[in-house]
Structure 1
Amino acid sequence: MNDDFDKLQATENFTVDDVEVVEKVRAHDGYFKVDRYQLRHRKHEGGWTEVMSREIFERGHATAVFLFDPELDKVVFIEQFRPGAFAAFNSPWFDAKTHSPWVLECVAGIIDEGESPEDVARRECIEEANCAVVDMVPITHYLASPGGTTESIFLFCARIDASNVGGVHGLEHEHEDIRVISVDTDTAMAWLDQGRFINAMTLIAMQWFKLNLSDLRARWS
C-alpha cells in the first residue's frame, strides 16, 4: 500500500476484531465472485447482533487515474460501455432516453497480485488512453460501496502529455472498446456543474481537481 495514502480507519470504538464470522462460503465463482457470510457484530449500545446472512461481491481493489496536461490545460477522460449502468438505467429511477450506459470516466483497472496501485496506474494509462504518466499525485483511497462489495479505489491525478491523445483503445480479449476524449479545463468544469459525471471515481476526482487546480499548476509549472 502506498504510504502517501492514509489507512482506511475504523470507528474509534470498533475494529474488525468486533466482528465474528460464523461461516463464509463462495456462492458464485464466475467472471465476478460472490461470498456468502454468516456473521454477527458488536452493537453500539452493547452486546451482539443476531447472526445475519450477507452476500458480498468480492471485487478486489482498483486504481483510478485522473489525467491532466498542465501545459495544454487539457483534461483527458475515457468513455466505454458499462453493463452495470445499462442495468441501472433500465430501472424506474432513470430515464433511459436521457442516460447512456456509455460512461465518461477516469482511466482505471484492477490491481493484480504483485502489483502496486502506482504500477496499475501506469499500465492502465497506456492500455486505455495510450499515454504515459509523467508524474502522479495521490488523491484518496476509498471504499466503492461498503454495503455490498469489498472493492476499494486508489485514486490518483497524473500529469500527462495530451498532445497526441485520442482514438479508441483497450484490450480486445477483455472486450474493451474505449474512446479517449480530451477537453480543456473550463469544459471539464462546466461538465461537472452540469452533472455530466455520474460515477463516483470521476466525481471525486473532478471535485478534488477543482479544489486543487492552482496547486497542481504550481507543482507542474
Structure 2
Amino acid sequence: MQDDKPNPIPMLQFDQKDVTISAVKTKYDGFFKLNEYHLQHKLFSSKVSGEFTREVFERGDAVVVMLYDPIKDNVLLLEQFRTGALRMGDTPWMLEFVAGMFDEDESPIDVAVRETKEEANIVLDPSDIKPIMQYLSSPGGTSECIYLYWAPFDSTLVSPGSIFGLDDENEDILLHIASRVEALALLAEGKITNAATVIGLQWLAMNYQTL
C-alpha cells in the first residue's frame, strides 16, 4: 500500500549563520536601550532578503519564580502597579509571581534568591529552585529572555496582606496566598494577564501532581 503522506517540511532549519548584520546603531541609551539593527537573512525560498532595519528594545533579561506549596497546594501571588498596563483600560495593578532583573555578575539563581527576599521576605535555598523554561517575552520587538523557575515554600509562614518592596525602586507589593484552584480560576476569568504568571500557572496545572 502506497503511503500518500507528503514528506515533512523540516522545522527550524536556519540558525545564526543565516543572518548578516551590517550595523547596529544605538538610538536611545538610558535605563533601557533601543538599538536599530541593519540586517538581511536567508529566505525559505533559499534566496536572501534585501537589507532592512528593525528597532529592538534591549531591556535585559529577567527571572521569574513561582512559589508553590505542594503540601497545602497554594501559590504566592504578588499584587503591584505596572505602568505598561495603563493602556488596557481595566486596572494597572497586576497579580504576578516574584520577578526581577539581573544585577551585574548575577546568575539566574542569584536573582531568584535576591528577588524572593526583597519582594516576599522569603529566603530560598538555591538548591530548591527548579527550572521550568526559558522563553523570549516578545521577540518581534525586544531581546528580553525570561528565566522561569518554581520553588517550594511553606505558605503557612506567610501573612497575606503583608507589604514588601524596595522604596528606592518605588515598589509597593501586596502578598496574597491563593490555592492552585483559585489561581487557575483567576486565570480563566482574565484576572491574571502577566505572561510569566500565565505560563507558570498553566505549567503548574499540568505538573502539580508530580511536584
Cα distance between partner residues in 1 of 2:116 and 2:37: 36
Provide Cα deviations, 1:52-76, integer angstroms capped at 9, x if missing partner.
1111000111110111112333210
> 2:98 aligns to what?
107
Q: Distance in 2 between matches of 1:72 and 1:46?
A: 55
Identity of aligned residues (%): 43
Q: Which residue of 2 aligns with 1:123?
A: 114
CA distance in 1, matches of 2:171, 2:149: 22
- Tell me whether 204-213 or 46-55 shows the greater mean CA deviation: 46-55
Q: Counterpart of 1:54 in 2: which secondary structure?
A: strand
Q: Which runs of 4+ in 1 moved over 4 A?
A: none
Report the Cα offset of residue 118 of structure 1: 1.1
Aligned to 2:133: 140
Cα deviations by residue, 1:146-176 (Å, 9 ceiling, x for unpaired)? 1010001110111012223241111111111
Cα contact 1:132–1:161 (8 A) shared by 2? no
Q: Which of 162, 179, 191 pairs up with 1:184? A: 179
* Alpha carbons 2:163, 2:175 under 8 Å: kept: yes
Instruction: State the Cα deviation string for residues 111-165 of structure 1 (Å, max 9, x = none).
Output: 2332111111111111111112252221111010010100011101110122232
Whole-Å separation in 2 of the counterparts to 1:32 and 1:179: 26
Contact 2:25/2:37 (8 A) holds in 1: yes
Gaps of 5+ in 1: 1-10, 90-95, 217-221
SS class of match (1:213):
helix
The TM-score, its normalising length taken from structure 1, stands at 0.84
| Largest Rg, 1 or 2 | 2
Instruction: Give unpaired runs (5+ residues) of structure 2.
Output: 1-10
